[in-house]
Amino acid sequence: MENYIVSARKYRPATFDSVVGQSALTTTLKNAIASGKLAHAYLFCGPRGVGKTTCARIFAKTINCLTPNENGEACGECESCKAFSQNRSYNIHELDAASNNSVEDIRLLIEQVQIPPQVGRYKVFIIDEVHMLSTAAFNAFLKTLEEPPAHAIFILATTEKHKILPTILSRCQTYDFSRMEVSDIVPHLKRVAQQEGITYEEEALAVIAQKADGGMRDALSIFDQVASFTGGDITYKKVIKNLNVLDYDYYFNITAALLKTDIPSAMLTLNEILSKGFEANHFVSGLAAHFRNLLVSRDAQTLQLLEAAENIRQRYQEQAEQCRPQFLYRALRLCNNCDINYRTSSNKRLLVELTLIEIAQTDDDEGCGRGPTKKLKPIFKTSAPQPTPNVKTAEAQQASTGTTLPQAITDRTSGTPISTAPAPQSATPQPPAKATVRFKVPHTISIHKKAITENTRQPDAQQTTACTIQEERTFTPNELSYQWLRFATALPQEQRAMAERMKNITPVMAEDWRVDIPVENQQVINYMEQLRNEITHHLRMQLHNGKITLNFRLIEAKEQKRAYSRREQYALMLKKSPELAELAKILKLELA
């Protein structure tokens, strides 16, 4: 039986041109070789499986080639190239710093550096995972790395550049390898599949490329795994089953249900997903990625950010046309909040279901979705606002009930009396004037209006004008503090930090119904200035005083509170109750 070689090793690039996804770096290295401007030390850094060690080996092979090609590649026919291909070259030394990270290992390497090459021009030392070297080993390596012999070239490879000493970084030319795009990985997988005689669906290869997370080695390893599972016929359904990936259809279907505010269908789809063994947090992450893909699919300029097969791109564009940007922004924010709170939630499924319900709710102000406009119904129903009576309605009521209308009607906003006598008839008919006539609201109606606005924290401009309070009721500091805390507690989730700051502030009543708000710093004052109108309206309505004003001020140094030690607390207690000293003496108590 022939020895099996995994695809990551069998199809490892042997030339710069065959390296996938790193064209800028390979071009730079080829130009440096062609011009003979070689540095004595290189640092290749980047994520796993993107070609760092592969490029180091190709570089070492090319600079020792006796007859390089015109395009700067190794010929593959000379003695040096053959020795490299057969793994018997003495000009290339590889050191795994993960297992050889001591000072003694570096000293052995330095001794090998002094020996000149037997065939070729350079001896290349490739140190993989160089960040694993100890600090003492790095220091022992510094002098040789800075001034090596003319025949020695060092190539350091690492996935964690930040762990390398700055003194090492300053002695190397740094090359940053980037993650590979799905568009780079899929064509390479196609070539491998064709050479291996494996049939495939491009959509399935796209899923493998996304699962690899930008690493070609990971992509080839997953490709071998899926090829074994499918028996050489790689299809989309088999791939998502083997890799435990959630099907695109679930995300498209649940988004369509949310756009129609079809909450039962969305929850049934979620239940089906959970019953198949998928974790709810993975579903939320996938749903957020789906909304992100829909967002980038709305514009031709950002469509290139969508990493998916061509048929999936078409589906994303079709559904993106049904989604308004405000709906996607809101859905992304809710999914992100759900992902943040998922770990600390005691009822994780309920959290995900509530997130879906909130996404499905449409709001005219935010313009969410294109389905039928619906809003969450309030828990406590409020009475409908009373219609403003006009003169004709009042006269009809007078005739039917026998009650007497007041002689004058007062405009509540300006305070000027409005006559109820019929206007004299002119010869020319005049159109009716568009004036609003209001009765003076008795005290009983103001109490009813207070009940209506009990659950309303943020009224609009019209509502604020209509609910202007003319009273000057006297209230206690406790009532003021209670209403202050009540407002802070009612702030929404995204203003939790401001709510906590408000709970630690005690408002103080000053002259002329001015409320002093002592604040710890200017930044908090700036934030609270944005809530000034809302706080003022709340306090005026709940305390029945229309002349309340707010004054935000910085806390003075003498007002700063500090924590007392135990002895200071005991001294204060003795000052208030001197008999404590006698009690402590009788009980033989000592302050710890």
338 and 283, same structural domain?
Answer: yes
257 is a domain residue: yes
126 has a pLDDT exceeding 90: yes
**Percent share of the chain, pLDDT over 90:** 21
Joined tokens for residue 391:
């003169």
203 and 139, same structural domain?
Answer: no
Average pLDDT estimate for 429-434: 45
* pLDDT top residue among 365 and 50: 50
0.75 exceeded by the pTM? Answer: no
146 has a pLDDT exceeding 70: yes
456 has a pLDDT exceeding 60: no
161 and 187, same structural domain?
Answer: no
Predicted local distance difference test score (pLDDT) of residue 448: 39
473 and 450, same structural domain?
Answer: yes
Average pLDDT estimate for 58-76: 85
**In the structure, what pLDDT confidence band is assigned to residue 472 with cuts at 50, 70 and 90?**
confident
112 and 28, same structural domain?
Answer: yes
Predicted local distance difference test score (pLDDT) of residue 471: 75
Q: How many domains does the chain have?
A: 4
The DSSP code for 545 is B
Q: How far apart are CA 482 and CA 511, in angstroms?
A: 20
Q: Quick count: other Cβ atoms within 10 Å of Cβ 362?
A: 22
322 and 219, same structural domain?
Answer: no
Q: How far apart are CA 499 and CA 503, in angstroms?
A: 6
Nearest to 172 by CA among 29, 44, 27: 44
Domain end among 176, 204, 219: 176
Residues in the chain: 592
Predicted local distance difference test score (pLDDT) of residue 67: 84
300 is a domain residue: yes
Domain end among 360, 391, 414: 360
Predicted local distance difference test score (pLDDT) of residue 80: 85
Average pLDDT estimate for 347-367: 79
Helices (H), 134-247: 135-146, 166-169, 182-196, 202-212, 216-230, 236-242
> What would the 3-class secondary structure string for 217-277 be?
HHHHHHHHHHHHHHCCEECHHHHHHHCCCCCHHHHHHHHHHHHCCCHHHHHHHHHHHHHCC
337 and 208, same structural domain?
Answer: no
Domain hosting 475: range is: 444-559
**In the structure, what pLDDT confidence band is assigned to residue 184 with cuts at 50, 70 and 90?**
confident
Integer angstrom CA distances of residue 263 from 216, 228, 257, 279, 295: 41, 41, 7, 20, 22
Nearest to 506 by CA among 527, 491, 520: 520
500 is a domain residue: yes
What mean pLDDT value characterizes the chain?
79
pLDDT tens digits along 191-212: 999 998 899 888 889 889 888 8
pLDDT tens digits along 40-56: 999 999 998 888 999 99
**Percent share of the chain, pLDDT over 70:** 80
Predicted local distance difference test score (pLDDT) of residue 335: 93
pLDDT tens digits along 254-264: 999 999 989 99
